[in-house]
Structure formats: structure tokens, C-alpha cells
Structure 1
Amino acid sequence: MLAACLLPYGGYLLGGLAAWICRFNWSLIKTISIETGLQNTSVSILVAMSMSGQPDLDLAIILPIASTMVSAWPFYISLPFYMLYNKHMNKKKAKQLEDVEGSTMAVVDAKHALEAEGKINTACEESNDDLALENKL
């Protein structure tokens, strides 16, 4: 049973490590890791089928089939933790976005107040002055 578990898990780890060494982004690293682990079990079934005759074939493919059956367990176990992590990160990003929007509105309000008092020029007037200066040169 240990060999059946190590076959796809080794594929997951080695595929992910190879993708990480090649400096792929995180979504590609996960994809390559999962595909490598799943293809690893398929290759072992095909090798067992081609190397064994009919009486031994049934016994030869038991471990690769068991490996295929248990390879999804880590994903099912880690899924609730992943979902909780994403929920927490989405709340955190939403709070940061609210903070940024609130501070941006405060800056815009302050700019409008200063413009109304005549203490600063608008950006349009400044850019028109710059264009007039460039045309004279």
C-alpha cells in the first residue's frame, strides 16, 4: 500500500519541483504537479499490462489501480483548508479595497475643496500652460 501511495505522490512532488525550478507561475506549478502525478499512475498500469501475461496481469495491476484510487485523498483532505484560506484572503482584500477607496475619496474631496478656494489650479490649466510654452519654443 505504501508503494501505491508513493507512486502518484512522488509524481506530484517531482512535477511540482520541476515546474518551480523552471519558474512557472503558481497556477501552472499546481497544474503540472497534478498532471504528472496522474500520468504517473497511468504509465505504471500500461507498463504492467505490457510486461505481464494474462495470469499475472491481474496481480500486476493491483498496485497501480490502488494507487489511482488513493491519489485523490490529499486533495479531498486539503480542500476545506484551501476554501477557508480563500475566504479569509477575500475578506482581507475587500477590507483593503475599502480602505483604499475611502482614502482616495478623501484626497479627491480635499483637492476639490482647495480648487474651490482658488488655492490650486486644475490639471487642465497647468497642461494648457505647458503646451503654450512648448509651442513658443
Structure 2
Amino acid sequence: MAPVGSVDVELELIGWTQARLGDAVVVRDELDNNLLNELPTVQIEVIGGDDDGYRLDRALVDVNVYAATRGEATALAATVHGLLLVSLRGSATTNAVFGAVRALARPAARPYENTGLRRVGATYQIYSHPVS
């Protein structure tokens, strides 16, 4: 059973990030077989964390950027990194208010089995709570 005041942090972050990056970038949770045709793509996944059982959520979030070249992936990952560390803190969506944001692993190249693209990823701890 979900905590009384929980929100879908992954869904909220996807919408928030998409709004800031615009239509030239795909922001999603799961990858599909069409990835090479949807570059650049930012994948946002909650990979763990904890909550207080009432309102506060401390999500661990993995962010992977896929692009045609390592340079493009690195540049977009740096943009997302800045957005999360500077702009997300203190912001709100319709359903969530975001507090502290920490990079637990800064953006770095990560291996990927498809040699037709490059992946750069980072891991964050993001505090949030419902709007009401």
C-alpha cells in the first residue's frame, strides 16, 4: 500500500523535465525498440529510496541520456544535471513539491550494448512531497 501522501515521482519528473527540454528531446521511463529513431532520449527511472510513511519521499532516481554521439549525450546530460540541481529544488508541479536534490553519481559515460548510440547517466536523490 502506498503512503497516504505519496506521488508518482517518476511521472512528475518526466513531465517537469520534458517541459524544460522541449519537443526536440524525448523524455520517458522505459526504452523501446524505436530508440535509435527517437534520439536524443532522456530516460528517468526511480530505482529506490525511502519515505516517512506519511508525506516525505526520498527517491533515488537514475537519469540516462541516449544520443548519437558521446559529445551530444554528455552535453544533454549536463543540461539535465543543471536543471535538476538548480531549477528543480523548490519547484512544484500540479501534484508534487520538490525539495533537496543531490547528485549521488554525477553524469558519466555508461556502457550500452547498441554501438549506434551513446549513453551518459547519473543518479540523484530527490526529496518531494504532495502539494496538499
Higher strand share: 2
TM-score, normalising length: structure 1: 0.27
TM-score, normalising length: structure 2: 0.28
Query: Which structure is larger by alpha-carbon Rg, 1 or 2?
Result: 1
Higher helix share: 1
